[in-house]
Amino acid sequence: MQPYPNLWLVCIITLLSFPVFAQQQVTGKVVAADNANETLIGASVLSKATKNVANTDDRGSYSIAATATDTLVFTYLGFATKEVYVNGKSVIDVSLTPDQQVLDEVVVVGYGTQKKINLTGSVSAIASKDLENRPITQASQALSGLTSGVVVSQTSGRPGNDGASITIRGQGSYGAGGSPLVILDGIAVSLNDVDPNNIKSISVLKDAASAAIYGSRAANGVIIIETKRGQAGTMQVNYNSYAGFQSAVALPDFLDSAGYAAMRNEANANMGQAASYTDADIEKFRNQSDPDNYPNVPHLKNLLNSGSGFQTNHNLTFMGGNEKTRYLFSTTYLEQNGLVAKNDYKKYNFMLNVDSKIKENLTLKVNLMGYTSETNEPIQSEGDMMSIIGYAVREGPIYAGRKSDGTYGYQDNYSPEAWVDSNSFKKGTNKNFLGSGELAWQPIEGLTLSGKAGYNLFSFYDKNYLAEVQFDQYKTIGPNNLNVYSGQGTQVTLQALATYTKTIKDHSFTLLGGASQEKYSDWSLNGYRRNFPNNLLSELNAASAEGMTTSGSASEWAIRSYFGRLNYSFGNKYLFEANIRTDGTSRFPSEGRWGVFPSFSGGWIVSEESFLKDKLSWLQTFKLRASWGKLGNQNVGSYPYQNRVSLGQNYSFGGALLPGAAVTTTSNSDITWESTATTDFGLDANFFDGKLGLVADFFNKKTSGVLYGVTTSSVLGMGTSPVNVGGVKNTGFEVALNYSQQIGNLKIGISPNFSYIKNEVTELSSGLSEDINSNLFVGQPIGVIYGYVADGLFVNQDDVSTYPSQPYAAEPGLVRYKDISGPDGVPDGKVDATYDRKVIGNTMPKYTYGLNLTANYRGFDFATLLQGLGGYDKQLSSYQAYAFYNGGQIQQWQADNRWTEANPDRNASYPKLTSLNGGSGTTMTSTYWLRNASFLRVKNIQIGYTLPDSLVKDKLKMSRLRFYIGGQNVLSFNHFYKGWDPEMGGGNFYPITKTYTLGLNASF
């Protein structure tokens, strides 16, 4: 028995209580170091020992409980963090230094960087942190919802082909391509060739002032991507990984076989035909007593659940170096298994970036990157995997899948189950390598001379093997056959730059001059054979030579450019920039080969004026911008001005078929650039010590000389090359806000953006006001929907008899179209295609919007991204929109909302049931089938937790360890057709997918 047990207890309690007894109250004030009169309101004060947190009040004062040996941590947005040792003091006043990294934030622009405060053009910047840990399989998906003025539309979730289309500030042409130019570390590339894991920053050049330095290829905007680079110090190893599963965002709800049969009988009755199914048949469909002969098979649902949908991504990065040489090596593996069996995509990426300081004034940058990818898909006799999905939409539940005896049910030549089970396949392999080197020399202070060379090599090899498939004893699809496609291409880039920067008192200027040249070439081959001895051999030589075919092609183009830029600043208040570029391209004839593209812009930092500076404590920066410039577009094919001779124009002579050649397209020797003139007015502002940022722009973009394939009579006997005859205008405004706040240990960020874009065709060829075949109308957006105006449904025969005559055999329950005009310009009692159709919809989104929300609290982090498009319409057709179309299915919403004699609702959402086809009167393009395609999507949501340093660094000997869960495309809000996503493409399709993931970030 120990003596004095209570004494030990008292000692233990005293020791445990000591920190509490030793606490004292510390007070003080927090001010800005560069202005002692500027108190910092809401600054955070943290006690390391007690974990107490306090915030400064409206006088910059604080009060916090701390120990005598404590350390206080002072933080404030836009200022450098500061730690102060208490050392027994009760009053501690602190001055925080502005974080120069925030104040001197730079943005990547054409052929260089600029301080964000000095920008006079419209440039949006996106950092890697905005992309991290999202399950992005293609880099084109990365911009979705993150920046104003940019329409990003992903129409498919097809593995390996799920990239998004990007339009910057409206579609500027209806003839030449509308995609933006993409620059990766100074080299023009395809956006989806970039591994999202390697992106450091993305800059979107939206106006002519920022994009004119790229001249003839910048009319549709420019996206500049800068990859990550190494940092000096000991080697750092980063591992980022996620795994998850995909499923369709939306799928239609079809009736089961019993419901299908009942509705089929009703449709027959509506057409005066006998019933297709007896009550006994319907009961067998319902009770499934004979599933082979009376099946109930949801073909589309089964098909899109036959694959695992598993997706995973692993990225491993090594970086380090010293003051002389820095390096970063990154490798990535992406695996994406589709919703359909036998469909997958695998991609292997690598990147090596090396920066070497050869001498004090001589540096070398080397960038090497590449990937190899493989896509596998099932195919069928009349198309690829998407056509299998499309026909699964058509095939009703009354057709069996795989029967008990191993045969297959089918409709015509289609059986999704048989084609997926067969040995048919499509296998595509792509390889890409991009290498570049840049040598920069500074002979004198302020002057940098540099040269860059880049080499891009890419190749593809695709095999499409169609096996002979026996559905049952009565139906065999064949013969088996193989198509092989292969090709290769190169692009060589050479650049030379000279940059000179000088500051003389209040005058600062930078001069840039340069030249560049690109040469592109490619070739492709195709071979076809059929009648293989079995379905196990899939090489060309194994098949019969009878009926075999071969073909090949090649193309090349080149462009040479000279360019320059002047940046001038006076007193850090008045900014001016001028760009000029001249391009010569092989795509155009010598007379119109060269184009000159200038731009001018100015900025006024009003907040630096004496009448405003230091007068408004809540205003930090306020800048006005204005710009004008002219850009070009050359994306019209390789040889539009030449008389091209097409081979394969075989002809009969003397009873034999002989090979021939002919000119099949007229040339245009006067073809030249499309020209786009853009005017932009903008403002940039920061408020409340940088917590709130605002960027707003108004723009007017006019394209003239649109390269357009004029519609001609078939009597000509040839196609036509594009001619410079059209015009397009895009006007609009965009606003982006950014709000950040720290409240104790809680940090929040809110970044909404909104854009309005009005697109308008201003000119067509030869003074025409419309080209109906191309859906082009002067005064209307590109790609409008042209059709009839529906006036509900006919309710009875008297309604049919008294209403204006229709362009089809109208009946009660079918769509009635309005008589809106006639030969004399007024309604004439007859609805026809000439006088009674009009523009009824617009496929070009008018609005884009996005919202990025972030929060961090004591190791936990949360982020969500909302994205949407608005102000546009879509119309589905064929099997997706119409019940029993060409023998197709019926959806639940069609059955629930159909017109019937018992309920003759003029405003029913679906007409009476009949058999429909492409020539049916009710399926003509009209407002009846039009739907608002606007949507708001929860593009990404993520919750993570970073383990504390005491565990990670001290025990695990790591730098960082974070776990997270996330979702992509998790929710969508719209008023589109039920079961269909408005962003998805029509016709044969692959559904957009939602993905749920579990991931980790580890650093060593």
Mean pLDDT of 54-71: 87
880-915 pLDDT, tens digit per residue, is 999 999 999 999 999 999 999 999 999 999 999 999
Neighbour count for residue 52 (Cβ, 10 Å) = 17
Q: Which domains does the chain have, with CATH numbers?
A: 24-96 (2.60.40.1120), 106-234 (2.170.130.10)
Which pLDDT belongs to residue 365? 96
Percent of the chain with pLDDT over 70: 93
**Average pLDDT rounded to a whole number, residues 309-335:** 95
At residue 715 the predicted structure's pLDDT band, cuts being 50, 70 and 90, is low
Half-sphere exposure of 686 (CA within 13 A, CB side): 15
Residues 640-686 pLDDT 10s: 776 666 666 777 777 777 777 777 776 777 777 788 999 999 999 99
Residue 637 pLDDT more than 80? no
Sign of the C-alpha dihedral, residues 892, 898, 903, 909?
Answer: positive
Per 3-state DSSP, the chain is made up of helix, strand and coil in percentages (nearest 5) of 15, 50, 35
Q: What is the mean pLDDT of residues 490-515?
A: 94
- For 241-258, the pLDDT digits (tens) are 999 999 999 999 999 999
Whether residue 12 is predicted with pLDDT greater than 50 in this model: the reply is no
Residues of the chain with pLDDT > 90, as a percent, come to: 70
Task: Decide: 80 and 40 in contact? Cβ < 8 Å.
Answer: no
* Least-confidence region, from 532-541, 678-687, 705-714: 705-714
Confidence at residue 18, expressed as pLDDT on a 0 to 100 scale: 39
**949 pLDDT band (50/70/90 cuts)?**
confident
Lowest mean pLDDT among 78-92, 202-216, 359-373, 549-563: 78-92
Distance from chain centroid for Cα 930: 25
* 863, 942 Cβ separation under 8 angstroms: yes
| Average pLDDT value for residue range 357-381 | 96
Query: Is the pLDDT at 542 greater than 90, yes or no?
Result: yes
Are 672 and 658 in contact, with CB atoms under 8 Å apart? no
Residue 13's pLDDT is what?
37
Higher pLDDT, 637 or 803: 803
Residue 268 has pLDDT above 80, yes or no: yes
Checking phi first, is residue 324 left (phi over 0); if not, alpha (psi -120 to 50) or beta? alpha
Q: Is 561 exposed, middle or buried (0-12, 13-18, 19+ CB in 10 A)?
A: buried
pLDDT digits over 288-300, tens only?
999 999 999 999 9
Residue with tokens 């990404």, as numbered in its chain: 940
Under a CB-based contact definition with an 8 Å cutoff, are residues 26 and 72 in contact?
Answer: yes
Averaged confidence pLDDT in the chain = 90
SS3 state of residue 853? strand
Phi, psi of 420 (to 5 degrees): -70, -35
The CA-to-CA distance between both ends of the chain, in Å, stands at 52
The token pair that represents 630 in the structure block? 């002219």
Instruction: Please state the rounded mean pLDDT for residues 92-107.
Output: 73
Mean pLDDT calculated for residue range 104-119: 83
pLDDT per position as a tens digit, 744-776 = 889 999 999 999 999 999 998 878 888 888 889
pLDDT over 90 (residue 401):
yes
For residues 125 and 131, give the distance between their C-alpha atoms in angstroms, rounded to a whole number: 12
Q: Which of 41-45, 131-135, 451-455, 580-584 has the lowest mean pLDDT?
A: 41-45
Tokens 């407002």, residue located: 927
User: Does residue 236 carry a pLDDT above 60?
Assistant: yes
Of 155-169, 465-479, 662-676, 987-1001, least confident by mean pLDDT is 662-676
| Cα–Cα distance measured from residue 983 to residue 733, given in angstroms and rounded to the nearest whole number | 23
pLDDT tier for residue 697 given thresholds of 50, 70 and 90: very high
Residue type at 375 in one-letter notation: T
pLDDT, position 647: 67
9 confidence band (pLDDT: 50, 70, 90):
very low
- Tokens matching residue 243: 């795994």
